[in-house]
Amino acid sequence: MMLPAPAGSPYRVSMVCLGNICRSPMAAAVLQRRVEDAGLGEHIRVDSGGTGSWHVGDAADPRARDALSRRGYDGRSHRARQVSPPWFDDHDLLLVMDDDNLRTMRRLAPDRDAAERVMLLRTFDPTAEPNGERSVPDPYYGDEADFDAGLDIIERCVDGLLPVLRARVEGSESDR
């Protein structure tokens, strides 16, 4: 799996969902922690956004914050933002949670290069099966168990993503 080449350093990753209050803030918190634990904090930047505007400025959903804190992550500082075309200039890689996010982001992309920098997070799920589930399901209308299940998927995907990201930032000198 090859990731898009970095435009510079650090390599900038954004997690993207619909509301930017449930899935993408959880995914960003998990990746941020893994990046720091791997000593890559100088080389990889992590944030998140949503394709919808309803929750702009809001904190993460309390159920997302609770699910994060049950596993030792901290989502308290998050404030929701909506993605816009400049998002593509400001990031190297956009990781979306589902096919709806993928379509919206590809439509928003200013050009083909930008569109190709949008990928499904589950591309990196080490347990993914051909024709298996492609999304991190939206837990917004669900319950605590749905948030935990989402976090299970997110943690697995981040485990799959991190070595690829590390190779990308460590190999990037030779690409430029």
Residues acting as catalytic residues: 17, 23, 138
Residue 151 contacts residue 71 (beta carbons within 8 Å): yes
Which of residues 3, 13, 15, 21 is near ligand 4NP by CB under 6 A? 21
User: Minimum distance between the CB of residue 111 and ligand 4NP, rounded to whole angstroms?
Assistant: 26
Residue 5 contacts residue 175 (beta carbons within 8 Å): yes
With binding defined as CB under 6 A, does residue 138 bind ligand 4NP?
yes
With binding defined as CB under 6 A, does residue 63 bind ligand 4NP?
no
User: Minimum distance between the CB of residue 6 and ligand 4NP, rounded to whole angstroms?
Assistant: 27
Q: Give which of 123, 118, 154 is closest to 136, Cα–Cα.
A: 154
CB under 6 A: which stretch of 36-44, 48-56, 109-117, 121-129 binds ligand 4NP? 48-56
Ramachandran class of 39: left when φ > 0, alpha when ψ lies in -120 to 50, beta otherwise: left
Which of residues 3, 12, 13, 19 is near ligand 4NP by CB under 6 A? 19
Tell me the three state secondary structure of residue 17.
Answer: strand
Total residues contacting ligand 4NP by CB under 6 A comes to 12
Q: Measure the CA–CA gap between 121 and 96, rounded to whole angstroms.
A: 6
Which of residues 54, 113, 144, 163 is near ligand 4NP by CB under 6 A? 54
Q: Which helix (H) or strand (E) holds 65?
A: helix 62-70
Instruction: Read off the amino acid at residue 22.
Output: C
Q: Cα Rg for the chain, rounded, in angstroms?
A: 15
CB under 6 A: which stretch of 2-10, 19-27, 28-36, 83-91 binds ligand 4NP? 19-27
Positions in the binding site for ligand 4NP (CB under 6 A): 17-23, 50, 54-55, 138, 140
